[in-house]
A = this chain, B = another copy of it.
Amino acid sequence: MKNIKDVAREAGVSAGTVSKVIKGYSSISEATREKVLSAVDRLGYIPNSAASTLSSKGTKKIGIYLNINDKFQQIDEINMLYVMGALDRCRELGVENLIISDESLRSVRYEDYRSYFSSLSIDGIIVFGLNKNDEGMLKMLQDKRFKFAVIDACFIDDNISHITVDQQQAQYDVARQVVEPGDRVLYLAGKENSFIADWRQTGIERLQKEMGFDLKIVRCDFSEAKAFVAAEEFVDEYDCVVCASDLMAIGVRQACKRMGKRVRIAGFDGIRLLGYVSSSIITVKQDFYQFGYRAVDEIMALREGNPGREVLLPYEIAHIHYRSVIK
Protein backbone atom coordinates (compact mmCIF):
# COMPACT_ATOMS: atom_id res chain seq x y z
CA MET A 1 0.00 0.00 0.00
CA LYS A 2 2.31 2.67 1.32
CA ASN A 3 5.47 2.98 -0.68
CA ILE A 4 8.88 4.32 -0.03
CA LYS A 5 7.92 7.78 -1.21
CA ASP A 6 5.12 8.01 1.31
CA VAL A 7 7.61 7.28 4.02
CA ALA A 8 10.04 9.79 2.59
CA ARG A 9 7.39 12.49 2.61
CA GLU A 10 6.27 11.60 6.11
CA ALA A 11 9.81 11.73 7.37
CA GLY A 12 10.76 14.79 5.37
CA VAL A 13 13.64 13.11 3.58
CA SER A 14 14.20 11.58 0.17
CA ALA A 15 13.31 8.10 -0.94
CA GLY A 16 16.95 7.20 -1.34
CA THR A 17 17.56 8.00 2.28
CA VAL A 18 14.69 5.86 3.42
CA SER A 19 16.08 3.00 1.42
CA LYS A 20 19.46 3.38 3.03
CA VAL A 21 18.00 3.45 6.51
CA ILE A 22 16.04 0.31 5.88
CA LYS A 23 18.98 -1.53 4.47
CA GLY A 24 20.96 -0.53 7.49
CA TYR A 25 23.64 1.51 5.79
CA SER A 26 25.97 3.20 8.22
CA SER A 27 26.26 6.52 6.43
CA ILE A 28 23.12 7.88 8.01
CA SER A 29 22.92 10.25 10.93
CA GLU A 30 21.21 9.02 14.02
CA ALA A 31 18.70 11.86 13.78
CA THR A 32 17.36 11.10 10.31
CA ARG A 33 17.52 7.42 11.04
CA GLU A 34 15.11 7.96 13.92
CA LYS A 35 12.86 10.12 11.83
CA VAL A 36 12.64 7.55 9.09
CA LEU A 37 12.11 4.62 11.41
CA SER A 38 9.32 6.37 13.21
CA ALA A 39 7.68 7.27 9.90
CA VAL A 40 7.96 3.66 8.80
CA ASP A 41 6.32 2.63 12.01
CA ARG A 42 3.57 5.20 11.83
CA LEU A 43 2.66 4.29 8.29
CA GLY A 44 3.08 0.57 8.74
CA TYR A 45 5.29 0.58 5.72
CA ILE A 46 6.49 -2.76 4.42
CA PRO A 47 8.85 -2.80 1.47
CA ASN A 48 7.58 -4.26 -1.75
CA SER A 49 9.62 -7.38 -2.25
CA ALA A 50 9.10 -7.58 -5.98
CA ALA A 51 10.40 -4.08 -6.54
CA SER A 52 13.23 -4.72 -4.17
CA THR A 53 14.48 -7.86 -5.83
CA LEU A 54 14.02 -6.34 -9.25
CA SER A 55 15.94 -3.23 -8.41
CA SER A 56 18.77 -4.98 -6.66
CA LYS A 57 19.14 -7.32 -9.61
CA GLY A 58 17.28 -10.05 -7.84
CA THR A 59 19.07 -13.02 -6.29
CA LYS A 60 18.05 -13.04 -2.71
CA LYS A 61 15.76 -15.99 -2.29
CA ILE A 62 16.57 -19.48 -1.19
CA GLY A 63 14.96 -22.29 -3.10
CA ILE A 64 13.96 -25.32 -1.06
CA TYR A 65 14.07 -28.25 -3.39
CA LEU A 66 12.12 -31.30 -2.36
CA ASN A 67 12.43 -34.56 -4.14
CA ILE A 68 9.17 -36.30 -3.45
CA ASN A 69 10.32 -39.25 -5.54
CA ASP A 70 7.30 -41.36 -5.33
CA LYS A 71 3.89 -40.51 -6.46
CA PHE A 72 0.96 -38.74 -5.02
CA GLN A 73 0.86 -37.60 -1.45
CA GLN A 74 4.07 -39.28 -0.54
CA ILE A 75 5.58 -36.49 1.43
CA ASP A 76 6.28 -37.77 4.86
CA GLU A 77 7.44 -36.80 8.28
CA ILE A 78 11.06 -36.53 7.25
CA ASN A 79 10.51 -34.14 4.39
CA MET A 80 8.14 -32.20 6.54
CA LEU A 81 10.72 -31.69 9.22
CA TYR A 82 13.33 -30.71 6.67
CA VAL A 83 11.04 -28.07 5.32
CA MET A 84 9.92 -26.77 8.66
CA GLY A 85 13.49 -26.45 9.82
CA ALA A 86 14.46 -24.55 6.73
CA LEU A 87 11.38 -22.33 6.81
CA ASP A 88 11.84 -21.50 10.46
CA ARG A 89 15.46 -20.57 9.98
CA CYS A 90 14.60 -18.46 6.96
CA ARG A 91 12.07 -16.60 9.00
CA GLU A 92 14.50 -16.02 11.84
CA LEU A 93 16.99 -14.62 9.39
CA GLY A 94 14.44 -12.75 7.32
CA VAL A 95 15.39 -14.70 4.23
CA GLU A 96 12.88 -15.10 1.45
CA ASN A 97 12.36 -18.57 0.16
CA LEU A 98 10.48 -20.72 -2.24
CA ILE A 99 9.57 -24.36 -2.08
CA ILE A 100 10.27 -26.18 -5.28
CA SER A 101 9.16 -29.75 -5.74
CA ASP A 102 10.62 -32.04 -8.35
CA GLU A 103 7.15 -31.99 -9.82
CA SER A 104 7.32 -28.29 -10.53
CA LEU A 105 10.60 -28.72 -12.36
CA ARG A 106 9.23 -31.36 -14.64
CA SER A 107 8.06 -28.78 -17.12
CA VAL A 108 11.47 -27.14 -17.30
CA ARG A 109 14.25 -28.40 -19.55
CA TYR A 110 17.57 -29.09 -17.90
CA GLU A 111 19.29 -26.36 -19.91
CA ASP A 112 16.74 -23.93 -18.59
CA TYR A 113 17.07 -24.70 -14.91
CA ARG A 114 19.52 -21.88 -14.66
CA SER A 115 17.23 -19.27 -16.09
CA TYR A 116 14.35 -20.74 -14.22
CA PHE A 117 16.02 -20.19 -10.90
CA SER A 118 17.29 -16.82 -11.95
CA SER A 119 13.86 -15.72 -12.99
CA LEU A 120 12.67 -16.69 -9.56
CA SER A 121 15.39 -14.56 -7.98
CA ILE A 122 16.92 -17.59 -6.40
CA ASP A 123 20.61 -17.65 -5.67
CA GLY A 124 20.81 -20.47 -3.18
CA ILE A 125 19.19 -23.85 -3.19
CA ILE A 126 18.70 -26.40 -0.48
CA VAL A 127 18.48 -29.87 -1.93
CA PHE A 128 16.87 -32.68 0.02
CA GLY A 129 17.04 -36.28 -1.03
CA LEU A 130 19.00 -35.90 -4.22
CA ASN A 131 19.17 -39.03 -6.34
CA LYS A 132 21.97 -40.15 -8.58
CA ASN A 133 19.66 -40.04 -11.55
CA ASP A 134 18.39 -36.53 -11.02
CA GLU A 135 20.30 -35.25 -14.05
CA GLY A 136 18.91 -31.76 -14.01
CA MET A 137 19.92 -31.01 -10.45
CA LEU A 138 23.21 -32.80 -10.82
CA LYS A 139 24.13 -30.48 -13.66
CA MET A 140 22.94 -27.48 -11.73
CA LEU A 141 25.39 -28.26 -8.96
CA GLN A 142 28.19 -27.38 -11.38
CA ASP A 143 26.78 -23.93 -11.93
CA LYS A 144 28.86 -21.72 -9.72
CA ARG A 145 26.24 -19.03 -10.05
CA PHE A 146 24.22 -20.74 -7.33
CA LYS A 147 24.94 -21.75 -3.78
CA PHE A 148 23.87 -25.19 -2.66
CA ALA A 149 23.30 -26.92 0.60
CA VAL A 150 22.87 -30.56 -0.21
CA ILE A 151 21.43 -32.93 2.34
CA ASP A 152 22.59 -36.52 2.39
CA ALA A 153 24.38 -36.57 -0.93
CA CYS A 154 28.12 -36.29 -1.04
CA PHE A 155 28.89 -33.15 -2.97
CA ILE A 156 31.28 -30.54 -1.82
CA ASP A 157 32.66 -27.72 -3.87
CA ASP A 158 33.29 -24.02 -3.61
CA ASN A 159 29.59 -23.44 -3.98
CA ILE A 160 28.27 -26.59 -2.33
CA SER A 161 28.04 -27.60 1.28
CA HIS A 162 27.01 -31.03 2.36
CA ILE A 163 24.94 -31.68 5.44
CA THR A 164 24.48 -35.17 6.73
CA VAL A 165 25.30 -37.61 9.47
CA ASP A 166 28.03 -40.20 9.12
CA GLN A 167 25.78 -42.74 7.48
CA GLN A 168 28.27 -45.55 7.42
CA GLN A 169 29.21 -45.17 11.03
CA ALA A 170 25.59 -44.86 12.07
CA GLN A 171 24.58 -47.99 10.22
CA TYR A 172 27.54 -49.77 11.73
CA ASP A 173 26.68 -48.59 15.21
CA VAL A 174 23.05 -49.52 15.15
CA ALA A 175 23.73 -52.90 13.60
CA ARG A 176 26.28 -53.60 16.27
CA GLN A 177 23.54 -53.24 18.86
CA VAL A 178 21.35 -55.96 17.43
CA VAL A 179 23.69 -58.42 15.78
CA GLU A 180 25.07 -61.13 17.98
CA PRO A 181 27.97 -63.42 17.18
CA GLY A 182 26.89 -66.32 15.03
CA ASP A 183 23.78 -64.56 13.79
CA ARG A 184 22.46 -64.95 10.32
CA VAL A 185 21.76 -61.38 9.31
CA LEU A 186 19.36 -60.04 6.71
CA TYR A 187 20.05 -56.51 5.49
CA LEU A 188 17.33 -54.63 3.69
CA ALA A 189 18.99 -52.00 1.55
CA GLY A 190 17.62 -48.77 0.12
CA LYS A 191 17.03 -47.48 -3.36
CA GLU A 192 19.29 -48.02 -6.28
CA ASN A 193 20.11 -44.45 -7.11
CA SER A 194 20.22 -43.19 -3.59
CA PHE A 195 23.45 -41.83 -2.20
CA ILE A 196 22.60 -42.66 1.36
CA ALA A 197 21.46 -46.17 0.54
CA ASP A 198 24.92 -47.05 -0.71
CA TRP A 199 26.68 -45.23 2.06
CA ARG A 200 24.66 -47.01 4.72
CA GLN A 201 25.27 -50.35 3.11
CA THR A 202 29.02 -49.92 3.49
CA GLY A 203 28.36 -49.67 7.21
CA ILE A 204 26.85 -53.10 7.53
CA GLU A 205 29.51 -54.52 5.27
CA ARG A 206 32.21 -53.18 7.48
CA LEU A 207 30.62 -54.76 10.52
CA GLN A 208 30.25 -58.00 8.64
CA LYS A 209 33.97 -58.01 7.86
CA GLU A 210 34.77 -57.47 11.49
CA MET A 211 32.36 -59.98 12.95
CA GLY A 212 32.23 -62.42 10.09
CA PHE A 213 28.51 -63.23 10.27
CA ASP A 214 26.32 -64.57 7.49
CA LEU A 215 24.90 -61.63 5.60
CA LYS A 216 22.22 -61.52 2.97
CA ILE A 217 21.47 -58.22 1.32
CA VAL A 218 18.10 -57.58 -0.28
CA ARG A 219 17.30 -54.32 -2.00
CA CYS A 220 13.92 -53.04 -0.83
CA ASP A 221 14.12 -49.46 -2.09
CA PHE A 222 13.21 -47.93 1.26
CA SER A 223 9.74 -49.34 0.69
CA GLU A 224 7.73 -50.61 3.59
CA ALA A 225 5.68 -52.83 1.32
CA LYS A 226 8.72 -54.43 -0.25
CA ALA A 227 10.25 -54.98 3.15
CA PHE A 228 7.06 -56.65 4.26
CA VAL A 229 7.27 -59.04 1.36
CA ALA A 230 10.96 -59.69 1.83
CA ALA A 231 10.37 -60.47 5.47
CA GLU A 232 7.62 -62.92 4.63
CA GLU A 233 9.96 -64.68 2.28
CA PHE A 234 13.21 -64.72 4.19
CA VAL A 235 12.67 -64.12 7.83
CA ASP A 236 12.58 -67.76 8.81
CA GLU A 237 16.20 -68.14 7.91
CA TYR A 238 17.53 -65.18 9.84
CA ASP A 239 18.00 -64.16 13.44
CA CYS A 240 18.23 -60.50 12.87
CA VAL A 241 17.08 -57.97 10.28
CA VAL A 242 18.93 -54.71 9.81
CA CYS A 243 17.06 -52.17 7.72
CA ALA A 244 18.30 -49.06 5.97
CA SER A 245 15.17 -47.18 7.04
CA ASP A 246 12.56 -47.22 9.76
CA LEU A 247 9.74 -47.72 7.32
CA MET A 248 11.32 -50.93 6.11
CA ALA A 249 11.89 -51.98 9.71
CA ILE A 250 8.23 -51.42 10.38
CA GLY A 251 7.30 -53.47 7.35
CA VAL A 252 9.42 -56.30 8.67
CA ARG A 253 7.98 -55.97 12.11
CA GLN A 254 4.40 -56.09 10.85
CA ALA A 255 5.16 -59.12 8.73
CA CYS A 256 6.71 -60.88 11.70
CA LYS A 257 3.72 -60.06 13.82
CA ARG A 258 1.34 -61.66 11.35
CA MET A 259 3.57 -64.68 11.01
CA GLY A 260 4.11 -64.95 14.72
CA LYS A 261 7.87 -64.77 14.28
CA ARG A 262 10.33 -63.00 16.49
CA VAL A 263 13.59 -61.51 15.27
CA ARG A 264 15.71 -58.61 16.31
CA ILE A 265 15.17 -55.58 14.09
CA ALA A 266 17.14 -52.41 13.53
CA GLY A 267 15.80 -49.39 11.70
CA PHE A 268 17.30 -46.13 10.56
CA ASP A 269 16.01 -42.55 10.85
CA GLY A 270 14.12 -42.26 14.10
CA ILE A 271 10.66 -41.39 12.88
CA ARG A 272 7.80 -40.95 15.32
CA LEU A 273 5.88 -43.78 13.78
CA LEU A 274 8.22 -46.19 15.51
CA GLY A 275 6.79 -45.12 18.82
CA TYR A 276 3.40 -46.39 17.74
CA VAL A 277 4.43 -49.57 16.09
CA SER A 278 7.16 -51.00 18.21
CA SER A 279 9.60 -49.54 20.63
CA SER A 280 11.56 -52.75 20.36
CA ILE A 281 13.06 -51.62 17.07
CA ILE A 282 16.34 -49.89 17.68
CA THR A 283 17.20 -47.13 15.31
CA VAL A 284 19.43 -44.23 14.34
CA LYS A 285 17.76 -41.12 15.56
CA GLN A 286 18.39 -38.06 13.42
CA ASP A 287 17.15 -34.54 13.89
CA PHE A 288 15.71 -33.74 10.51
CA TYR A 289 14.44 -30.38 11.58
CA GLN A 290 18.01 -29.49 12.33
CA PHE A 291 19.09 -30.56 8.85
CA GLY A 292 16.79 -28.01 7.30
CA TYR A 293 17.70 -25.39 9.82
CA ARG A 294 21.40 -25.79 9.32
CA ALA A 295 21.07 -25.92 5.59
CA VAL A 296 19.90 -22.32 5.57
CA ASP A 297 22.90 -21.30 7.63
CA GLU A 298 25.19 -23.04 5.21
CA ILE A 299 23.68 -21.19 2.29
CA MET A 300 24.23 -17.93 4.12
CA ALA A 301 27.84 -18.88 4.77
CA LEU A 302 28.37 -19.61 1.11
CA ARG A 303 26.81 -16.30 0.21
CA GLU A 304 29.34 -14.59 2.42
CA GLY A 305 32.04 -16.15 0.33
CA ASN A 306 32.99 -19.07 2.52
CA PRO A 307 33.86 -22.21 0.59
CA GLY A 308 31.60 -25.24 0.74
CA ARG A 309 32.20 -27.74 3.48
CA GLU A 310 30.88 -30.88 5.03
CA VAL A 311 28.69 -30.57 8.09
CA LEU A 312 28.33 -33.77 10.06
CA LEU A 313 25.39 -33.65 12.42
CA PRO A 314 25.15 -35.91 15.45
CA TYR A 315 22.91 -38.93 15.63
CA GLU A 316 21.84 -41.20 18.39
CA ILE A 317 21.25 -44.92 18.64
CA ALA A 318 17.99 -45.31 20.47
CA HIS A 319 14.56 -46.78 20.85
CA ILE A 320 11.56 -44.57 20.16
CA HIS A 321 8.93 -44.83 22.86
CA TYR A 322 5.28 -44.00 22.62
CA ARG A 323 5.49 -41.63 25.53
CA SER A 324 8.07 -39.56 23.75
CA VAL A 325 6.11 -39.12 20.56
CA ILE A 326 2.66 -38.16 21.76
CA LYS A 327 1.64 -34.60 22.04
Contacts and interface: CB of A to CB of B under 8 A. Distances in A.
Nearest to A98: B98
Given A2-B115, A80-B75, A251 B103 contact: no
Given A54-B48, A109-B44, A276-B276, A84 B88 contact: no
By DSSP majority rule, is chain A's interface helix, strand, loop, or mixed? helix
Interface in A96-119: 98-99, 101, 103-104, 108-109, 111-112, 114-116, 118-119
Contact of A58 (B48, B74, B254): B48
Contacts of A70: 327
A140 interface: no
Interface stretch (A17-25, A189-197, A221-229, A312-320): A221-229
Contact of A103 (B91, B109, B119): B91
Nearest to A54: B50
- Stoichiometry, as copies per complex, reads 2
A76 B75 CA distance: 11
Given A99-B99, A289-B73, A224 B326 contact: yes
Contacts of A115: 1-2, 44-46
Given A254-B322, A327-B224, A91 B119 contact: no
A47 interface: yes
Given A273-B273, A276-B277, A289-B73, A88 B116 contact: no
A36 interface: no
Interface in A40-88: 44-51, 53-54, 58, 70, 72-77, 80-81, 84, 87-88
Interface string A161-190: 000000000000000000000000000000
Interface of A: 1-2, 44-51, 53-54, 58, 70, 72-77, 80-81, 84, 87-88, 91, 98-99, 101, 103-104, 108-109, 111-112, 114-116, 118-121, 223-225, 228, 247, 250-251, 254, 273, 276-277, 289, 322, 326-327
5 contacts: A44-B112, A46-B115, A49-B121, A50-B54, A76-B80
